[in-house]
């Protein structure tokens, strides 16, 4: 994925979550959104066994683009590391997110698309990444057919 594709992901997430993070303090919804989003990004980034420099840069740029307050940055970094080190339960994290953002909400779609874009960034989906995507898809209560449909859409955006 080129910089435009990556920039698009950041714009999508910023529009989805950016309004949540104004000011210096975080409420419960903001904290949960940051923890779950970055925990899942870290977890998915490590799905194939290695967090690439691109995936780490993705998370770091996202933190900067969201213009999180200092406390938000610390929460995001800690959540990413917990996810990377497999110290989260995906089903529990998704349930926490769904408690703040109900099924069918734009936030769910944007987070899910961001996770797909992270996997599709290198143009390939490795077996362990596919299994991780299936786990996330199940946790969000989406049909697995959405994985290939959305990956096809993402790939066409990247090449079109």
pLDDT tens figures, 33-77 = 999 999 999 999 999 898 888 788 888 888 888 888 888 999 999
CA angle 44, 86, 60 (to 5 degrees): 50
Among 79-83, 107-111, 118-122, 137-141, the minimum mean pLDDT is found in 118-122
Q: How far apart are the first and last CA of the chain?
A: 11
pLDDT averaged over every residue in the chain: 85
The pTM assigned to this predicted structure is: 0.84
pLDDT at residue 79 above 90? yes
pLDDT tens figures, 115-134 = 998 888 777 888 999 999 99
């Amino acid at each position: 994925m080129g910089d435009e594709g990556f920039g698009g992901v950041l714009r999508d997430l910023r529009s989805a979550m950016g309004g949540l993070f104004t000011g210096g303090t975080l409420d419960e919804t903001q904290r949960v959104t940051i923890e779950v989003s970055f925990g899942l990004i870290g977890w998915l980034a490590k799905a194939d066994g290695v967090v690439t420099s691109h995936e780490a840069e993705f998370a770091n740029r996202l933190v900067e683009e969201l213009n999180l307050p200092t406390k938000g940055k610390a929460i995001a970094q800690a959540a990413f590391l917990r996810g990377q080190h497999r110290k989260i339960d995906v089903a529990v994290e998704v349930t926490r997110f769904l408690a703040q953002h109900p099924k069918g909400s734009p936030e769910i779609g944007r987070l899910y698309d961001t996770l797909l874009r992270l996997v599709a960034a290198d143009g390939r989906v490795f077996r362990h990444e596919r299994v991780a995507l299936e786990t996330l898809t199940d946790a969000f209560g989406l049909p697995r057919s959405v994985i290939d449909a959305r990956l096809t859409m993402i790939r066409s955006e990247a090449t079109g």
